[in-house]
Amino acid sequence: MEITNVMEYKAIAKQKLPKMVYDYYASGAEDQWTLKENREAFSRILFRPRILIDVSRIDMATTVLGFKISMPIMIAPTAMQKMAHPEGEYATARAASAAGTIMTLSSWATSSVEEVASTGPGIRFFQLYVYKDRNVVAQLVRRAERAGFKAIALTVDTPRLGRREADIKNRFTLPPFLTLKNFEGLDLGRMDGTNDSGLASYVAGQIDRSLSWKDVKWLQTITSMPILVKGVLTAEDSKNSLFVILCSFFFFFFFFKKSIHVILFFNLTNPARLAIQNGAAGIIVSNHGARQLDYVPATITALEEVVRAARGQVPVFLDGGVRRGTDVFKALALGASGVFIGRPVVFSLAAEGEAGVRRVLQMLRDEFELTMALSGCTSLKEITRSHIVTEADLHRPVSRL
Ligand code: FNR
């Protein structure tokens, strides 16, 4: 049967994959309220399309941290992709590169940073989990940088693993023929089976629960890659992100004297803007695909608060429940600079390998282009807040005509 939208891959993946693997990919935390809400919140946002605008040419290209991509749709880090397909992360990397967009490689990939780099050219970000052993982190970050990765997506919502009950029931663990490839040489590549979730035990053993803003600063001293903070859901944290990012930039330029004239320029203009122009950092509004704290709001609901707090000083991205081109448009209308997709990648990988991921990216691209055309927008900057209406808008007092 002809596949006509991204969501159809989920059922195919369910048929093809072992239950333990499918459940790991599909499930969310506890009651899975946020999992459902990540989708439903999109459906409560409606359009206010403009008409009689020449939409014969639509430009979806954009720039992320200074890198030009073909569309504002990127690939989120999802762990252990070789459980979905033997080509795993290689297939995803090739598909992203063919679509002219960014792939984010998970720390817990079943292919190493070097292996993914060897698949060919492409703009790639590296998602980082901070291990208790900082030597492990420093080594890994340097390897990613050497392999040509362009930014770090630092995941900040996982001091402990969320309670994913399907994984506990299935006693989820990485199949014995696979390893967490980035950690193989460090003796941390295996996941032991336990009598609940093997991944939760691995996280409890290795991941640093004490991670705090000072570590974000530390990270900037060991790499010149820009850092995206992944997992922000509130204005309070987005302000903190900005503060740390700015401090780090001053630190970086003063101590490494990379560019004296940049420091002077800093004093004359808005430092945050300069930080952005220099590819400093950004924020990813994410609830980890509803796999961490249940009953947090949908990311599309939290987005506007974070965008407001960021005041245009750093780009804000979103992931969580993006399945349609209309979702991409809604996120951009609420101020996102781009979106990332997670599950559609692993489900399409399971169904059709690289061809599946290519198709997912193409379908989202086509749908997004159509949404732009039917809304009367010919470029991303023409997408505005007034092209949509949210529930919050309906509850706001309206001025009398
Ligand atoms: C994830 N996510 C994730 N995030 C991260 O920072 N590091 C990781 O290794 C993983 N691994 C992972 C595995 C699987 C199977 C899923 C579904 C998710 C979260 C991911 O980056 C992203 O935030 C969400 O997947 C986005 O939501 P959607 O698109 O899956 O709804």
With the most atoms of ligand 1 within 8 angstroms of its CB, the residue from 24, 36, 291 to mutate is: 291
Quote the CA–CA distance of 231 and 309 in Å, as a whole number.
Answer: 15
Backbone angles phi, psi at 194, to 5 degrees: -135, -175
pTM score, whole prediction: 0.92
**pLDDT in 10s for each residue of the chain, 401 residues:** 799 999 999 999 999 999 999 999 999 999 999 999 999 999 999 999 999 999 999 999 999 999 999 999 999 999 999 999 999 999 999 999 999 999 999 999 999 999 999 999 999 999 999 999 999 999 999 999 999 999 999 999 999 999 999 999 999 999 999 999 999 988 788 888 787 898 989 888 899 999 888 888 888 889 999 999 999 999 877 766 666 656 555 555 555 544 333 322 333 333 333 233 333 489 999 999 999 999 999 999 999 999 998 889 899 999 999 999 999 999 999 999 999 999 999 999 999 999 999 999 999 999 999 999 999 999 999 999 999 999 989 887 765 54
Question: Which runs of consecutive H residues, i.e. helices, occur in 181-234?
Answer: 198-206, 213-222
Ligand 1 atom closest to residue 321's alpha carbon, by position in its atom list: 31
| Residue indicated by tokens 């993914």 | 116
**CA of 162 relative to ligand 1 center, distance in Å:** 12
Assigned fold of 8-393: TIM Barrel (3.20.20)
Burial status of residue 234 (CB atoms within 10 A of its CB: 0-12, 13-18, 19 or more): middle
Q: Which residue out of 288, 319, 361 has the highest number of ligand 1 atoms within 8 Å of its CB and is therefore the one to mutate?
A: 288
The residues spanned by each domain of the chain are 8-393
Cα of 371 vs its chain's centroid, Å: 22
**Protein residue with least CA distance to atom 10, ligand 1:** 78
Residue of 346, 285, 322 lying closest to 109 (CA atoms): 346
DSSP label of 311: T
The rounded distance, in Å, linking the Cα atoms of 115 and 67 is: 22
96 is in an annotated binding site: no
**Which whole-number Å values give the CA distances from 397 to 113, 392, 393, 394, in the listed order?**
52, 10, 8, 8
Q: 221 Cβ partners below 8 Å, 6+ apart?
A: 248, 251, 252
Q: Nearest residue CA, atom 9 of ligand 1? A: 79
Q: Which residues line ligand 1 (CB under 6 A)?
A: 25, 38, 76-79, 106, 108, 127, 155, 230, 286, 288-289, 291, 319-322, 341-343, 346
Residues annotated catalytic, as ranges? 288
